[in-house]
Amino acid sequence: MKKKILSIIIILLCIFTVGCEEKEKKELEKNISETIDIDDNGASLVCTTDIDYSEYDYTLGSKYVVFADNDGKVTKIVSSEIINSNDKAKLDEFEEYLNKNHEVAGKYNGYKYDIKKENKKVISNVSIDYSEFDIKSFIKENNITNMDENLTVDSVEKQYVSLGAECNRK
């Protein structure tokens, strides 16, 4: 009799534990951009994005900090994007995709990136120093038609807003 009761308790504990894990597994972090810390002292523009794709088991948050000279010409952009998911295969895909895309731009000087995967997240940090970045070659060699080599705060803001970001002038 004791063995039956003990077996029932163990089964109930297993069911309860798995049930709790499943509930926890479905909860994804929201408003990720609020957790991103990039020094925006001296920035001209700060843009953030938070997208909830929970139905596809991921959420995305990003922050873009744009620095410019007195004429409004972009001198540097520092960004961080965080993708949160319970699906390891999905995180692997995002990590591979981001590495591939940033690798292309990384050969044009002034473009630094770091992609890492940790705790159900892929984190992409990018810094582009336009005084060093060979934007003309980047545009030409990659057949990019929707990018102007003379980036301004206005053009960058327009681009980020078209992608769903909220931007604030500093």
Tokens 């997208």 locate to: 51
Residue 147: predicted pLDDT: 78
Give the span between the Cα atoms of 21 and 26, in whole angstroms: 9
Residue 88 included in any domain = yes
Residue 14 included in any domain = no
Residue 18 included in any domain = no
Residue 43 included in any domain = yes
Residue 5: predicted pLDDT: 39
Q: Domain of 92: which CATH number?
A: 3.30.1830.10
- Direct distance between the N- and C-terminal alpha carbons of the chain, in angstroms, rounded to an integer: 72
Q: With beta carbons less than 8 A apart as the criterion, state whether 46 and 165 touch.
A: no
Residue 23: predicted pLDDT: 41
Residue 16 included in any domain = no
Q: With beta carbons less than 8 A apart as the criterion, state whether 26 and 86 touch.
A: yes
Query: Could you report the per-residue pLDDT of 18-54, keeping only the tens digit for each?
Result: 444 444 455 778 889 999 999 999 999 999 999 999 8
Query: Could you report the per-residue pLDDT of 126-139, keeping only the tens digit for each?
Result: 999 999 999 888 88
Residue 57: predicted pLDDT: 93
Give the span between the Cα atoms of 113 and 25, in whole angstroms: 30
Domain count, the chain: 1
Closest to 40 in 3D by CA, of 63, 73, 61: 63
Residue 151 included in any domain = yes
Residue ranges of the chain whose pLDDT lies below 50: 1-9, 11-24
> 102: domain range?
32-169
Residue 1 included in any domain = no
Residue 110 included in any domain = yes
Residue 110: predicted pLDDT: 94
Amino acid at position 148, single letter: D
